[in-house]
Structure 1
Amino acid sequence: MTAHALDLGLQGTQRLLAARDSSLDEHLRTLGPVPAVALCELISITEQAGLTGRGGAGFPTARKLRAVGEGRRRPVVVGNAMEGEYLSDKDRTLLARSPHLVLDGLELLGRALHAKRLILATGERIDSGPVRSAVRARRAEIDVRDMTGGFLGGQESALVSQLNRRAPVPQDPHTPVYARGVDGRPTLVVNVETLAHLALLARFGPGWFRTQGTPDDPGTFLVTLSGALRPGVQEIARGTRLGALLDGAGADRTRLSGVLLGGYHGTWLPPQAFDVALSSTGLAAYGARTGAGIVHALDSTRCPLRVSADIVTYLARQTSGQCGPCINGMPRMADTLQRLARPGADPRLVAEVARLRGLITGRGACAHPDGSARFAMSALTAFSGHVDEHLGGECHATPAD
């Protein structure tokens, strides 16, 4: 299998985005049809490959397959292209460039699980036209659904709720969607990037998949670059050095105050962390993870505390209003950060952010408050020098508009 992959030019990091065009003819000419793989074999090769979900949480894909496969009823498989992360563009890019790779993965899972329905859910910022054309071209029984929901719309229980024609808000975490989801059936929700990886993994095997990345974090992933970088989506190997990525994207490291990794539920990394390896092991020391593959570089002319406060204010508005941390804690966190972002801030505000994090974390109906609080604390850690400036009545950056 590996030799065939090399013949196709898939030996480097250009795997998911290697297609020369998005047509079915080109896809079949290059890769051929996706093979039928029994569920037990698919679980095995996915486990051997070490594939984790590329939607943000990084959950082992084999475990999700096994959980749904143990259900007694025929399941529903949902491709998640909601792209709720404000800075992300990877799902849209993948569906426009390689729609048939995503559909291969969806149909592969459908056959292995003997699924009742296959659904591809696209978010508000994604044009579903290209993938609808791809579905028609292959005469597939895939229901493409245009969805709403904002930042929380891609959370799997919120997505399932909307597919069941209810409000797009997170549901009871004690009833996982793999047990009861769309139409009351066991439901497997998989990000479209993960689907595309599965389609190639079924063709070329776990050994080929592991030729990129690190032993404990194998494969490639899509990153969306923004901020003080050349914008765009790239496919890189797990374990790539952040500094090499920044340099390749035209960054002037001397003019960067930090890099946001993983999105609005991610972590700010200070300049001294710019050479970290983008892998689970490399990022653990900073309490960070690759998340949804977002790399946003912040120019030193912008006030990092103001930027962070504005992000938390946005997150406080992107809630479902179901629990105390969202209704009370997050607005209070946003207000505290906004006050800290003003030079001459009260020193007690730093302790207040930490206190609010303790009140918010682990008490919400979903992980949204936890991720938001983690982001807020990372701002105080990464930009501690800037915090001191503000407490002393100064700000050596131009506040963001």
Structure 2
Amino acid sequence: MNSSTARPPAPHDHTAEPGDSTAARLLAGWHSTGRPADLTDHLGRHGPPPVATALGSRTSMPLVEAVASAGLTGRGGAGFPTARKLRAVAERRGRAVVVVNAMESEPASGKDQFLLAVAPHLVLDGAVLAATAVGADIVHICLPRTRIAQYRRLSIALVDRHRARLDPVRLRLHALPHAYVSSESTALVRWLNGGQARPQGSPPRTHERGVARRPTLIHNAETLAHLALIARHGPDWFRRTGTPDEPGTTLVTVSGAVTTSSVQEVALGTPLATIVDRAGGPTEALRAVLLGGFAGTWLSAEDVCTPLTRRDLAPLGAAPGAGVLIALPHSACGLSETARMLAYLAAQSAHQCGPCHFGLPALTEDFTALAAGHADPDLLSRLHRRTALLPDRGACRHPDGAARLAASALHAFADDVDQHLTRDVCAAARRPAGVPVPPAKPPETWR
């Protein structure tokens, strides 16, 4: 395995292959030792967490200013500038709240799980630093209740920090219902306020009034770990890798038709083809890659040389998203794979608004008919119409992601679409599914 990669955890397996990597930052400790870092390991490598107003010997910049200079953006999917979120909460009146979003409900992603398994204290340092920067007195850490082993390990990490008296704020660990949309920021706030873990689209926004009606900062685990490193080493260090417009490294979960499924830490701007090569290369010729996960974008094999930046991917209608890359082999049917993903997304909706309650099932039904070769004359025009109508109409972005996935499949697999519509399903459609998709069933509970 390439030295900058690590195998993503299975549900109860957080092992991976170590190695030396000059590119590794978040995973540097793992690559050098091959084992998760406990508090002693963490403090030996990184030293004690710097306070928000004194960021160590390399800079005296306040944390928000340093993060802005570094150009750090959120690694949870939206890519929003981290400093702007920090400022928005810090400028509100009253005590703030920080929420660590470690739900990682994207089925194809394992990066945050892996990061919390091997470097939990880096994430917790970032959360505490963010809390001191925005004037918060509590940090809520949200995990899915299905990941019991992860919850136990993080509980031990919190006990160790408490005994060492490291943190000036309270840290509370929570186990939430596990559903695709329960990782949405307003769903976390709603659940922490005693409600269901479903998105809440109406204002006010979380930075205005979130948990306990207080200004609330929500970041995913990887973003906070980057923040902790910027606080220690400064923005110039952070910008030494990546691109001038999109600096730093990012974690990517690579799976599908590759030799070794892995979590990689790569510099932004790394070509997608290089990321595939670092996973041992494709196991056969590729038909396409899915970038961003089930709510992402299919890209044709001709596009795999594109650099992993928002700027380079935007002309293709794609974005890095939550850091997922699935390689689809030429022997697979992209339409069949997409139909299964859409069925999962439709089942996982909160059914709170028309686009989710009616639009997603209708889109799934039509796409399933296309994949099975059961087309009627109006099917393709109906699919194009529905994928155009769904975005920006729901209480959250869940319908947008499903529409993006479907629309990109119609484009990337245009030749297959024509065959499925006019002749018969392609030979690949009769082969076993290639992309693992959870059962298409609704969440058991939202509380």
Q: TM-score range by the shorter chain?
A: over 0.9
RMSD: 1.8
1:315 is displaced (CA, Å) by 0.6
Q: Does 1:33 align with 2:59?
A: no
Structure 1 pair 46/10, CA: closer, same or farther in 2 (3 Å)?
farther
User: Structure 2: which amino acid aligns with 1:131?
Assistant: L
Question: What are the within-5 Å matches in structure 2 for residues 313-328 of structure 1?
Answer: 313-328=343-358
Tell me the alpha carbon deviations over residues 46-84 of structure 1, each in whole angstroms, 9 at most, x when there is no partner.
111110101111111011001101110111101110011
Give the superposition deviation at 1:226: 1.2
1:396 maps to 2:406 = no
- Aligned position for 2:187: 158
Q: CA 1:347–1:231 in 2, change beyond 3 Å: closer, same or farther? A: farther
Cα distance change of structure 1 residues 148 and 255 upon mapping to structure 2, 3 Å threshold? same
Match of 1:211 in 2: 240
2:325 corresponds to which residue? 295
**Relative to structure 1, is the Cα distance of residues 11 and 271 closer, same or farther in structure 2, using a 3 angstrom cutoff?**
closer
Residue in 2 aligned with 1:167? 196
Q: For this pair of structures, how many residues does the alignment match?
A: 393
How far apart in 2 are the matches of 1:345 and 1:91? 40
Once residues 280 and 88 of structure 1 are traced to their aligned partners in structure 2, the CA distance between those partners, rounded to angstroms, is 19
Q: Which residue of 2 aligns with 1:128?
A: 151
User: How far apart are residue 133 of structure 1 and its match?
Assistant: 1.0
- Which has the larger displacement, 258-267 or 246-255? 246-255
TM (normalized to structure 1)? Answer: 0.94
* 125 and 233 in structure 1: CA distance in 2 versus 1, 3 angstrom threshold: farther
Measure the CA separation in 2 of the matches of 1:251 and 1:200.
31
TM-score (norm 2): 0.85
Please list, as runs of the form range in 1=range in 2, the aligned pairs for 1:218-229 lying within 5 A after superposition.
218-229=247-258
Pick aligned residue for 1:104 from 102, 105, 125: 125
Q: Distance in 1 between matches of 2:314 and 2:175?
A: 36
Whether the 8 Å contact between 1:344 and 1:392 is mirrored in structure 2 is: no
Q: Determine whether 1:355 maps to 2:385.
A: yes
Paired position in structure 2 for 1:188:
217
Question: Aligned partner of 1:12: which letter?
Answer: T
Q: In 2, Cα distance between the equivalents of 1:42 and 1:11?
A: 27
Q: Structure 1 residues 326, 344: CA separation in 2 closer, same or farther (over 3 Å shift)?
A: closer
Separation of aligned partners in 1, 2:295 and 2:374: 28
| Percent sequence identity over aligned pairs | 45
**How far does residue 41 in structure 1 lie from its aligned partner after superposition?**
1.7
Deviation at 1:123, TM superposition (A): 1.8
Distance (whole Å) between structure 1 residues aligned to residue 43 and residue 203 of structure 2: 42
Stretches of structure 2 that go unaligned for 5 or more consecutive residues are 1-18, 55-60, 434-447
Q: Which runs of 5+ in 1 are unaligned?
A: 1-8
More deviation, 253-262/237-246:
253-262
| SS in structure 1 of the partner of residue 295 of structure 2 | coil
| Match of residue 291 from structure 2 | 261
Identify the residue that residue 16 of structure 1 maps to in structure 2: 26
Matched-pair contact (CA < 8 Å) for 1:12–1:212: no
Superposed CA offset, 1:169-225 (max 9, x none): 111342111111111111100101001000000011111111111111110011111
Given that residues 307 and 400 in structure 1 are in contact (C-alpha distance below 8 angstroms), is that contact kept between their aligned partners in structure 2? Answer: no
Pick the aligned partner of 1:91 from 102, 112, 123: 112
State the alpha-carbon separation in 1 of the partners of residues 201 and 276 from structure 2. 40
Q: In terms of mean alpha carbon deviation, does 171-180 or 35-44 score higher?
A: 35-44
Query: Any idea what SS the aligned residue of 2:156 has?
Result: helix
User: d(CA) in 1 for partners of 2:50 and 2:20?
Assistant: 18
Give the 3-state SS of the residue equivalent to 1:355 in structure 2: helix
Match of residue 206 from structure 2: 177
Comparing 340-349 and 15-24, the one that deviates more: 340-349
CA distance in 1, matches of 2:229, 2:20: 10
2:98 to 61, 77, 83: 77
Show the counterpart of 1:202: 231
| Whole-Å separation in 2 of the counterparts to 1:344 and 1:328 | 21
Secondary structure of 2:62's partner? helix
Cα distance in 2, alignment partners of residues 214 and 173 from structure 1: 36
- Following superposition, the deviation at residue 124 of structure 1 comes to 3.8
